[in-house]
Chain A
């Protein structure tokens, strides 16, 4: 799996856009809205390589923070200029309100691409990049408010271990969110989806990234992944409560959610 992603890293984003016709961006936005993080949230994004979720998190939290600040300023109409400028300075330095996201990925190349993107797009504070394995996370227990894994868990050899690790590093009350390709039960859509996956995607891989085999692997790994209910049971086995899933696009993609209570 490591070698697949080494060769895939540089063209990852281009391929994602081509394969999903850009829809993966919508899926990730929906995930962020579901998460609805408030400023001060500590997020770990596992298998988050090129930073898509992390950047969205920062944007979301920043916009909420800005609205908070605007509301605060309205209340400060009666204060003296001195007091206003003091509180303004204080708030400015916390434009993210102490929110932080740690991007963890097993692959150095993916992290490298992610860091470059962050620099290019101007993301600097509240962001850190850690090399690590989802089956054995380099973090303390009870650390994070939210754990996300977007399109990464199907590549983990021992999914149960990854789920256990997710449980371990989350604070009590923390939330587990997984965005992943899932099972399409609608027979018509299923056939079209299979046709597209097996016929078109490896061709796209060859033409855009010069790599047929990696994308053939990707398509196969999607088929091997457990369907929605089964994955829900696995999440419950790891100790999560109030586990639920939401199908996107009739099951092509699903968001599973669980809480450590």
Chain B
């Protein structure tokens, strides 16, 4: 691509107004809506800044997202290749399904039998009062396909919670992060898994260390790539059967 672009100085004195331009931005072209091309120095600064800010203010989910994007340059192509070499993953890359409230038929999912993926997913969303629409779209990934991969990973996060049976409190999130870290290799997951526990009480840390994390690690290693599952076509499948198929051990 145009990674090594010399910095253009277009706006210095030519009186253009400050509107967004779709073409050339600082460091390259805009490859997808919302894309902000960045130079390596900017990415490094962003990675450092977002890491600090994410630790300082845990409510800044956008910082976690930015950290993931700026540090994922090795892990994301890896994930993309895993998807390409798998029939279901390949189809996902082709069809680019999105998990959003507008694309999901919530009423139908709610009507599915208990224990099915669809029913349990909706139950998870309602119990924890979350929505799939709050996932940040990627901004700093400089490849359009990889941008989709990270978007898919983010949208599948709630399904991870469902499959692992973990709630959205700090403890649950850390467990899911451990699982995701093993599965994806994304530095952001690794950092989240390592630093997340810092804010937990001692008792919870004990449970985490003795039961939950070992289970998450074992499942993560045993399971096939979770991005290779076409979840939208498996709403009727019982959660247990899907767990077995992927290779996730039953939660403790």
- Chain A residues with CB under 8 Å of chain B are 1, 4, 198-200, 202-204, 206-208, 210, 212-213, 216-217, 220-221, 223-224
A214 nearest CB neighbor, chain B only: B18
**Number of B positions contacting A (CB below 8 A):** 24
Q: Which 3 residue pairs across A and B have the least CB separation, nearest first?
A: A207-B49, A203-B45, A220-B11
Residues of A within 8 A of B53 (CB): 207-208
Q: Are the C-beta atoms of A212 and B139 separated by less than 8 Å? A: yes
Q: Are the C-beta atoms of B36 and A213 separated by less than 8 Å? A: yes
User: Which positions 28-71 of chain B face chain A at CB distance < 8 Å?
Assistant: 36, 39, 41-42, 45-46, 49-50, 52-53, 60, 62-63, 66
Give the complex CA separation of A217 and B26 in angstroms: 12
Give the complex CA separation of A210 and B36 in angstroms: 13
Residues of B within 8 A of A208 (CB): 53
Question: Separation in Å of the B115 CB from the closest CB of chain A?
Answer: 39
Residues of A within 8 A of B50 (CB): 206-207
Question: Separation in Å of the B29 CB from the closest CB of chain A?
Answer: 16
Q: Are the C-beta atoms of B46 and A199 separated by less than 8 Å? A: no
Given contacts A206-B66, A207-B63, A212-B36, contact A199 B45 (CB under 8 A): yes
Residues of B within 8 A of A221 (CB): 18
Q: Are the C-beta atoms of A204 and B49 separated by less than 8 Å? A: yes
- Residue B12 CB within 8 A of the other chain: yes
Q: Are the C-beta atoms of A203 and B11 separated by less than 8 Å? A: no
Q: Which of B11, B45, B60 contacts A224 (CB 8 A)?
A: B11
Residues of B within 8 A of A1 (CB): 18
Q: Are the C-beta atoms of B13 and A224 separated by less than 8 Å? A: yes
Q: Are the C-beta atoms of A206 and B11 separated by less than 8 Å? A: no
Give the complex CA separation of A211 and B186 in angstroms: 24
A216 nearest CB neighbor, chain B only: B26
Residues of A within 8 A of B4 (CB): none
Q: Which of B20, B41, B63 contacts A199 (CB 8 A)?
A: B41
Give the complex CA separation of A51 and B46 in angstroms: 31
Give the complex CA separation of A200 and B26 in angstroms: 13
Among B15, B45, B60: residue with most chain A CB under 10 A? B45
- Residue B2 CB within 8 A of the other chain: no
Q: Are the C-beta atoms of A203 and B18 separated by less than 8 Å? A: no
Question: Separation in Å of the B36 CB from the closest CB of chain A?
Answer: 6
What would 8 more interface pairs be, CB under 8 Å, given A199-B42, A216-B26, A224-B18?
A: A1-B18, A199-B39, A199-B45, A207-B49, A212-B36, A213-B36, A220-B18, A224-B12
A226 nearest CB neighbor, chain B only: B13
Give the complex CA separation of A223 and B12 in angstroms: 5
- Residue B129 CB within 8 A of the other chain: no
Give the complex CA separation of A213 and B36 in angstroms: 9
Given contacts A212-B36, A213-B20, A221-B18, contact A203 B49 (CB under 8 A): yes
Q: What are 24 A-B interface contacts by the 8 Å CB criterion?
A: A1-B18, A4-B18, A199-B42, A199-B45, A202-B42, A203-B42, A203-B49, A204-B49, A206-B46, A206-B49, A206-B66, A207-B46, A207-B49, A207-B50, A207-B53, A207-B63, A210-B60, A210-B62, A210-B63, A212-B139, A220-B18, A223-B11, A224-B11, A224-B16
Per-residue 0/1 for B61-105: is the Cβ within 8 Å of any A Cβ (1 yes, 0 no)?
Answer: 011001000000000000000000000000000000000000000
Give the complex CA separation of A217 and B20 in angstroms: 9
- Residue B203 CB within 8 A of the other chain: no
Q: Are the C-beta atoms of A203 and B62 separated by less than 8 Å? A: no
Residues of A within 8 A of B18 (CB): 1, 4, 217, 220-221, 224
Question: Separation in Å of the A222 CB from the closest CB of chain B?
Answer: 10
- Residue B108 CB within 8 A of the other chain: no
Question: Separation in Å of the B13 CB from the closest CB of chain A?
Answer: 7
Question: Separation in Å of the A160 CB from the closest CB of chain B?
Answer: 14
Residues of B within 8 A of A4 (CB): 18
Residues of B within 8 A of A210 (CB): 60, 62-63
Give the complex CA separation of A217 and B17 in angstroms: 10
Give the complex CA separation of A213 and B25 in angstroms: 11
Q: Are the C-beta atoms of A198 and B49 separated by less than 8 Å? A: no
Q: Are the C-beta atoms of A200 and B45 separated by less than 8 Å? A: yes
Residues of B within 8 A of A223 (CB): 11-13
Give the complex CA separation of A210 and B139 in angstroms: 12
Q: Are the C-beta atoms of B139 and A198 separated by less than 8 Å? A: no
Residues of B within 8 A of A206 (CB): 46, 49-50, 66
Residues of B within 8 A of A203 (CB): 42, 45-46, 49
A221 nearest CB neighbor, chain B only: B18
A204 nearest CB neighbor, chain B only: B49
Question: Separation in Å of the A65 CB from the closest CB of chain B?
Answer: 42
Q: Are the C-beta atoms of A198 and B36 separated by less than 8 Å? A: no
Question: Separation in Å of the A212 CB from the closest CB of chain B?
Answer: 6
User: Which positions 143-165 of chain B face chain A at CB distance < 8 Å?
Assistant: none
